[in-house]
Amino acid sequence: MSETPSGAIADGKSSLAHLPPGEEQVEGLPPGFGDGIAGKAAFAIAVAFSAFQIYIAAYGSLPSQVVRAMHVGFLLLLGFALIANLRATSLPAKAFFWALGLLGFGTGLYNWVFYTDLIRRSGFLTTPDLIVGAVLVVLVFEAARRLMGLPLAVIAFIFLAYCFVGNHLPPPFIHRGYDFAQLVDTFAYGTEGIYGTPIYVSAAYIFIFVVFAAFLERAGMIALFNDFALGLVGTWRGGPAQVCVLSSALMGTISGSGVANVVASGQFTIPLMKRFGFRSAFAGAVEATSSMGGQIMPPVMGAVAFIMAETLNIPYADVVKAAIIPALLYFGACFWQVHLEAGKAGLRGMAKADLPNPWDAVRQHWPLVLPLAALIYLLFAGYTPVFAGTMGLALTIVLILGTPLAALIGPLAFRVVFWLALGLAAASFMKFGVNILSLVIAALVIACLAFKGGRETLQICIDSLAEGAKNALPVGIACAIVGIVIGTLTLTGVASTFIGWIISIGENNLFLSLVLTMLTCLVLGMGIPTIPNYIITSSLAGPALLSLGVPLVVSHMFVFYFGIMADLTPPVALAAFAAAPMARESGLKIGIQATKLAIAGFVVPFMAVYTPALMLQDAGPIAAQFGYPVEVAYIVLKACMGIVLWGAAAVGFLAARMAWWERLVAFAAGVLLVAAVPLTDETGWALSLAWIGWHIWRARQAPA
């Protein structure tokens, strides 16, 4: 079933055009769902999982604790089913993993059936309660180990072990000790353990957006992004690499996984960059860096943004507002360094005649933009992310199901009337609620069942539901196991020890505290995805930075950014190693190049701490004298100049190749601009302008 080809919505005349199958490798799992009856069963489970989550998002008729438990139950069932089908080789092993999956699903059903009883006997669990809870913890660990790798499971196990043996440790790590029943109650039934905030966000927000992205990809959004990027920036110097940066930034609006973006788009962009003349390591680094940056690209960003909004209890739009300028600087730095690298290698852009017209691509695929536009409007109009995501997903389904019906209508005027009527019916959800959209989708499904082309379109929708559930597995399992870490921090209070340590350092040197926090993020990121990295580090370092006077949103964005940078930083750079097979180059070499490309991601968080206006937060002294817009504009200008200088220093090229001492001067000038210490701005601007002027003059004097 999973081999059904993707579709692209073209216009009212055409049916769903074929694109390459959207079968990409999910972290820890090969493509597909398996063969035979077992494969069909796993596929059906994935569809049921998506249907359950969409129903809950639309109607919310179950208690939150039940939804969380069933979400984890489905994750375990689907995860172990796919492990059985795709990785187990012997029949006993397959049967064993299917049994684990059914056991995991049973824990969710247990919470649903005995929901009221579990609330009444909270803190006084029965023997069956303890057994089910212990089984849940063990299964979450095993699923995380199988799907996410050993590092995350090991870190969570260290925290769990601390709960059992911490009362025997010396101060300041000693705690009062907890018995087995209390630990099971905390981790398996409370809202501070596996069913804590991360799994709530996964069930309420992230899953819907992952399925939304799967539908858009099946409908042809990747083709639209690629054609638009090719036509818009393909003629720039280093065209294929510029296309990679822009298309990855656009993909960030619908996908929250940087590593998945590398795998999905890198198959197209990396070989293109290599054929054009870029070094293999640089081509892989461009794809890895720009794909990871998609997680910080408004308006949708990655899954961490939703977790951050829920953790800080602020509107999602506030998180997006703080990310706008840093995201533009991040991708601006990527564009700039690609431009410099191409100049250094003597590469030009692609021929305009060989590229698609970007606006023709938009005109051809413009219906795909409508659900995304509706999603953005709802997010910024103050609606909850779950409502916005559900409505965006529903509108995408309406669009896909309506396309083959419109293709049956002959005259253009009638097709226009059909789309207008369908659009008005779908848009009426703003007044009449979600029921009207459900009726519209039900009517379209019935109509599509009546003819062959419609039935094929329905199969594409079913495949999208299954792919969305499979794509959500790594995120959901990571959110489940990181609940063990959060539960330990809450139960034992060990976080306060770490916070006190950071604060004691920061009282004398805030910069040193920031560096320690950065290193913590980078070390934790060695093999751990961005989501658990952010949750763990923000729980430890976020309150400490806040106590040192760093604004709340800025402190969490600081941790968020370095969680992303961890996937690019050697020695364990997940995004770089994901790009390595396609680039046919060492992951370590790609990681080194990616670290250079992502220089803005390392610098901007530090700048934002000292000048929060960079994230549109607290005003500084410049605002008091000249106004807030002037301060923002000046800080952005400084950041841009720093990126220009550091990019040139990293590549060794500006208008011509640079000597080693020129690179040192450029780097030093950038440091002075960013330092935010008295007189460093003036010195930095003077040195920057003098050096750039001298370098350009020298380049013009050199022989051609």
What pTM does this model have? 0.76
Mean predicted confidence (pLDDT) in 449-455: 78
pLDDT, greater one: 261 or 7: 261
pLDDT reported for residue 257: 60
pLDDT reported for residue 252: 64
CB 400 within 8 A of CB 461: yes
Structure-token pair, residue 290: 């720009």
Name the pLDDT band for 253 (thresholds 50, 70, 90).
Answer: low
Q: What is the pLDDT of residues 282-296, one digit of tens each?
A: 888 888 888 888 788
pLDDT reported for residue 416: 72
pLDDT reported for residue 6: 36
pLDDT, greater one: 102 or 304: 102
3-state secondary structure of 22: coil
Name the pLDDT band for 10 (thresholds 50, 70, 90).
Answer: very low
CA–CA dist 627, 622 (Å, integer)? 7
CA dihedral of 200, 529, 261, 597, whole degrees rounded to 10: 130
Residue 44 has pLDDT above 90, yes or no: yes
Residues 6+ apart with CB under 8 A from 158: none
Residue 479 has pLDDT above 80, yes or no: yes
pLDDT reported for residue 512: 82
Residue 542 has pLDDT above 80, yes or no: no
pLDDT reported for residue 2: 36
The dihedral through the CA atoms of 511, 513, 516, 522 has a sign that is: negative
CB 457 within 8 A of CB 404: yes
Residue 517 has pLDDT above 60, yes or no: yes
CA–CA dist 616, 318 (Å, integer)? 10
pLDDT reported for residue 7: 39
Q: What is the pLDDT of residues 53-86, one digit of tens each?
A: 998 888 878 898 999 999 999 999 999 999 999 9
pLDDT reported for residue 69: 95
Residue 133 has pLDDT above 90, yes or no: yes
CA–CA dist 649, 596 (Å, integer)? 10
CA–CA dist 678, 671 (Å, integer)? 13
CA dihedral of 388, 393, 394, 400, whole degrees rounded to 10: 150
Name the pLDDT band for 260 (thresholds 50, 70, 90).
Answer: low
Name the pLDDT band for 258 (thresholds 50, 70, 90).
Answer: low
pLDDT reported for residue 20: 35
pLDDT reported for residue 76: 96
Q: Report the range of poorest mean pLDDT among 191-200, 306-315, 520-529.
A: 520-529
